[in-house]
């Protein structure tokens, strides 16, 4: 029977972050560190966890600041590097648990954006490969200019103001059960803050410039019908990434969360197969 452990750890600035790890029955073939998306939390990645456990991988995830069971004002980040610091602290924990075994990072959406800044800016040790699921490099729609101007203005006065997001639950997945569970999830956030919007928008531009600095083996995947994170931007990033060993796959009919989508078994087979090929 798989073993599960969870608890809290401190980010660089003392923010209390939540972690959870799952281990297969036998000695893990490798370890996979998962970084969730914006408004999200690691508890929504059970399908992925179960699939990787079944293939002999240990799975580690965490809730970064302002999300899930972590501390911090909801949906807010004072400055983008704080997210990168949270990821670096989490990676150190995973590497310690891995005990020298190969360790991979899987970042979804906003987590993928964080991963690129982390791997592109820091001297990361022990990264055997990186999987980016629906990376949030550009919004699939262009927000009205007036809304952007309003965010900038409000952001100077009340940067933490929670504003309802226009994202619909149906934009995430076609799976009715996933939609229901997300709608009823008290930890799932359906708001944005002006400071987060401005910081993440700037981070998106910088991520494309960091692409040539990504050297680790890379697998980028996305849903062809993603109405949240533009698949075209993921393709551009992929083409300019510095990794010699890289793969791109777009899944027809899938929306923003391939890991929670109808037909996700194919996605899990691809991820597991890609990791297995790099052991």
pLDDT tens digit at each of 279 positions of the chain: 788 999 999 999 999 999 999 999 999 999 999 999 999 999 999 999 999 999 999 999 999 999 999 999 999 999 999 999 999 999 999 999 999 999 999 999 999 999 999 999 988 999 999 999 999 999 987 665 666 666 666 666 677 878 788 789 999 999 999 999 999 999 999 999 989 988 999 999 999 999 999 999 999 999 999 999 999 999 999 999 999 999 999 999 999 999 999 999 999 999 999 999 999
Place of tokens 């229901």: 180
Q: For the chain, what are the domain ranges? A: 3-276
- CA 224 to chain CA centroid, Å, is 18
Superfamily of domain 3-276: Alpha/Beta hydrolase fold, catalytic domain (3.40.50.1820)
Beta bridge partners of 35: 62, 107
- CA 150 to chain CA centroid, Å, is 27
Q: Is the pTM of this model over 0.85?
A: yes
pLDDT score, position 165: 83
pLDDT score, position 98: 96
Q: Dihedral through CA 180, CA 184, CA 185, CA 189, nearest 10?
A: 100
Structure tokens at 214: 């990504």
CB 43 within 8 A of CB 19: no
């Amino acid at each position: 029977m798989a073993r599960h452990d969870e608890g809290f750890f401190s980010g660089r600035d003392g923010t209390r972050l939540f972690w959870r790890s799952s281990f297969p029955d036998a000695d893990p073939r490798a370890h996979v560190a998962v970084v969730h998306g914006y408004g999200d939390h690691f508890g929504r990645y059970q399908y992925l966890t179960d699939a990787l456990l079944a293939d002999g991988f240990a799975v580690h995830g965490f809730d970064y600041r302002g999300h899930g069971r972590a501390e911090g004002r909801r949906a807010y980040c004072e400055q983008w590097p704080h997210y990168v610091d949270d990821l670096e602290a989490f990676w150190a924990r995973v590497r310690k648990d891995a005990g020298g075994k190969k360790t991979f990072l899987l970042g979804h959406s906003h987590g993928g954006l964080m991963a690129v800044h982390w791997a592109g800016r820091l001297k990361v040790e022990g990264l055997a490969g990186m999987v980016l699921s629906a990376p949030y490099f550009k919004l699939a729609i262009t927000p009205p200019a007036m809304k952007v101007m309003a965010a900038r203005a409000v952001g100077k006065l009340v940067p933490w103001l929670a504003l309802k997001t226009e994202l619909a639950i149906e934009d995430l997945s076609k799976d009715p059960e996933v939609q229901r569970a997300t709608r009823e999830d008290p930890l799932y956030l359906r708001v944005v803050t002006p400071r987060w919007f401005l910081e993440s928008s700037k981070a998106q531009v910088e991520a494309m410039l960091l692409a040539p600095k990504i050297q680790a083996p890379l697998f980028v995947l996305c849903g062809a019908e993603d109405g949240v994170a533009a698949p075209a931007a993921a393709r551009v990033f992929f083409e300019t990434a510095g990794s010699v060993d890289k793969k791109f796959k777009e899944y027809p009919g899938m929306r923003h969360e391939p890991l929670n989508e109808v037909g996700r078994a194919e996605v899990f087979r691809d991820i597991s197969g890609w990791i297995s090929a790099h052991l």
